[in-house]
Amino acid sequence: MRGPRRCAPSSSAAQPRALPGNLGAEPPRLRDASLAIDALAGLIQATANHLGEQGTLLEQGLRNLQLAFVQLSNLAGTEDGGVGDGATS
């Protein structure tokens, strides 16, 4: 049986981390990311009474995703409330 995989340390702490999933796509799939973020928010809200201390960590992670979404939406220059799909028409 194999042991756990370890990540190599970053060569430069100043390099930004890549965003996972729809936010990390080129161009960012903002419409899909918005749906996923909203679904996560709903799950956290619906299960808040059962999460205990872990709920705080999940809420912090959700806020970080929401912040990244807003920042990428602003960079993409979407005019439809931040849920453009990055496609040009």
Q: Per-residue pLDDT averaged across 49-74, rounded?
A: 92
> 23 near 33, Cβ under 8 Å?
yes
- Weakest mean pLDDT among 1-5, 43-47, 63-67: 1-5
What is the rounded distance in angstroms from the CA atom of residue 25 to the CA atom of residue 30?
9
The pLDDT of residue 47: 93
Task: Give the per-residue pLDDT at 19.
Answer: 61
pLDDT digits (tens, 9 = 90+) for 4-47: 444 444 444 444 556 666 666 677 788 999 999 999 999 999 99
The pLDDT of residue 27: 78
Listed by start position, the domains of the chain span 29-89
* Cα 66 → chain centroid: 7
On whether the CB atoms of residues 85 and 30 are closer than 8 A, the answer is: yes
Check residue 68 and give its pLDDT: 92
Helices (H), the chain: 30-46, 48-51, 53-76
**From CA 83, how far away is CA 79, in angstroms rounded?**
8
